[in-house]
């Protein structure tokens, strides 16, 4: 039962899971509402620039959350993102330095969500900022932003980051609902909030299910995956590439982090001589332009070591858990090979 619970949690919070899609819908709705409010009566820069900026920010985050539809459509991002983004996806925030990204997130949470409402309570300062068109979230939303910020800073449990993103989306959505008609934050009917929450939950569930069911078999893709996985296994069992106990990474990230750059000249790389696109060979991508992944589960007293390389398969999303290959994921298990020292 414990393993089942772990697997269910893992599937809920992973990429293209329910939490990620709920986050997308929260930011998308927030952006749409801010956009509607800014343009409803005709846009005036002095009055509406801040709301329009919030709209652009929320819509940008929504699309970043799903990597601008990369895994939905299956396109290959520009080479800059394949090389510079550890996720090998078309999104900007993962190209940024990690410390800078964390600092920017905390400035948004604590600056916009807590400091700005507090400053606006000072009469003269608040009047001056409102005169500039700046509209803070209601002060009553501050605790939600603070809880979100503390969770982001302390990371109390696995995959906290996914829940923090969803909480932040809600923190932007509910103030948007409050100003949708009047332009001033105020308490709104509970029905509107409940309706928005229902849309987020339903949208998250429907989108996650739809991505699980989508299929893009492509001509010969399944055969290509099997051949490419066999080549990768050869690279490992021949000793050209060395695994590492406990690792679970995109194969390209694994090669870069642990110095396993012989992957770029091994059996897999030589498939380029037989038609494998050079960019896929260079960045260890499957035929659907997703990364190949390596998972190495350490041996315990009850379980022998398990190492495998896998592709997300035709639906372009991970269906597997830590313990088993699921859905239409395609994997090959590795026996032999040596460990990174």
**pLDDT tens for residues 119-161?**
999 999 999 998 999 988 988 889 999 999 999 999 998 889 9
Average pLDDT, stretch 21-37? 95
DSSP per residue over 318-340, as a string? ----SS---TT-EEEE--S--B-
Which pLDDT value is given to residue 1?
A: 43
pLDDT score of 288 more than 50: yes
Residue 225 phi/psi, 5° resolution?
-60, -45
Dist. CA 321–CA 142, nearest whole Å: 37
pLDDT score of 320 more than 50: yes
Which pLDDT value is given to residue 194?
A: 85
| Half-sphere exposure in the Cβ direction for 100 (13 Å, CA) | 6
Lowest mean pLDDT among 10-14, 160-164, 254-258, 330-334: 10-14
At residue 213 the predicted structure's pLDDT band, cuts being 50, 70 and 90, is confident
Residue among 274, 277, 297, 295 at smallest CA distance from 286: 277
Share of the chain above pLDDT 90, in %: 58
pLDDT score of 300 more than 90: no
Question: H helices within 238-306, ranges in order?
Answer: 251-258, 267-270, 278-283
At residue 338 the predicted structure's pLDDT band, cuts being 50, 70 and 90, is low
Which pLDDT value is given to residue 252?
A: 96
Tell me the pLDDT tens digit for each residue of 180-202.
655 555 545 567 788 888 999 99
pLDDT score of 170 more than 80: yes
Helix (H, G, I), strand (E, B) or coil at 115: helix
At residue 337 the predicted structure's pLDDT band, cuts being 50, 70 and 90, is low
pLDDT score of 267 more than 70: yes
- Which two tokens mark 15? 């990429």
Which pLDDT value is given to residue 182?
A: 56
Burial of 246 (0-12, 13-18, 19+ CB in 10 A): exposed
Dist. CA 36–CA 59, nearest whole Å: 13
Dist. CA 281–CA 27, nearest whole Å: 36
Which pLDDT value is given to residue 189?
A: 56
pLDDT score of 294 more than 60: yes
Which pLDDT value is given to residue 41?
A: 66
Q: pTM of the predicted model, to two decimals?
A: 0.88
Q: How many CB atoms lie within 10 A of CB 100?
A: 10
Which pLDDT value is given to residue 314?
A: 92
Q: Taking all residues of the chain, what is their mean pLDDT, rounded to a whole number?
A: 88
**Long-range contacts of range 148-152, CB-CB < 8 Å, 24 or more positions apart?**
148/109, 148/113, 149/106, 149/109, 149/110, 149/113, 149/114, 152/102, 152/105, 152/106, 152/109
Tell me the pLDDT tens digit for each residue of 69-122.
998 888 999 999 998 888 888 999 888 888 898 999 999 999 999 999 999 999
- Which two tokens mark 261? 């750059």
Which pLDDT value is given to residue 336?
A: 58
Which pLDDT value is given to residue 269?
A: 96
Where exactly are the structural domains of the chain? 2-213, 221-333
């Amino acid at each position: 039962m414990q393993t089942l619970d772990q697997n269910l949690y893992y599937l809920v919070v992973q990429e293209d899971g329910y939490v990620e899609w709920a986050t997308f819908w929260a930011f998308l709705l927030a952006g749409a509402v801010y956009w509607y409010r800014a343009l409803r009566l005709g846009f005036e820069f002095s009055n509406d620039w801040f709301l329009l900026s919030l709209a652009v920010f929320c819509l940008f985050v929504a699309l970043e959350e799903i990597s601008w539809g990369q895994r939905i459509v299956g396109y290959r991002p520009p080479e800059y993102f394949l090389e510079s983004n550890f996720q090998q996806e078309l999104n900007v925030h993962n190209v940024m330095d990690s410390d800078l990204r964390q600092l920017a997130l905390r400035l948004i949470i604590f600056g916009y969500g807590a400091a700005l409402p507090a400053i606006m309570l000072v009469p003269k300062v608040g009047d001056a900022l409102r005169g500039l068109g700046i509209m803070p979230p209601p002060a009553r939303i501050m605790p939600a932003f603070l809880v979100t910020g503390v969770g982001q800073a302390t990371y109390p449990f696995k995959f906290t980051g996914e829940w923090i993103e969803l909480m932040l989306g809600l923190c932007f959505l509910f103030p948007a609902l409050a100003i949708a008609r009047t332009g001033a934050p105020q308490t709104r009917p509970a029905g509107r909030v409940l309706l928005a929450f229902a849309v987020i939950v339903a949208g998250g569930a429907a989108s996650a299910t739809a991505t699980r069911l989508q299929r893009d078999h492509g001509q010969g893709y399944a055969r290509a995956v099997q051949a490419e996985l066999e080549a990768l296994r050869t690279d490992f069992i021949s000793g050209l590439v060395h695994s590492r106990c406990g690792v679970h990474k995109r194969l390209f990230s694994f090669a870069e982090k642990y110095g396993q750059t012989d992957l770029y000249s091994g059996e897999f790389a030589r498939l380029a001589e037989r038609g494998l696109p050079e960019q896929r060979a260079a960045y260890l991508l499957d035929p659907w332009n997703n990364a190949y992944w390596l998972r190495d589960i350490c041996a315990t007293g009850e379980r022998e070591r398990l190492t495998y390389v896998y592709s997300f398969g035709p639906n372009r999303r991970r269906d597997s858990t830590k313990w088993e290959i699921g859905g239409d994921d395609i994997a090959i298990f590795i026996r032999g090979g040596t460990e990174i020292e």
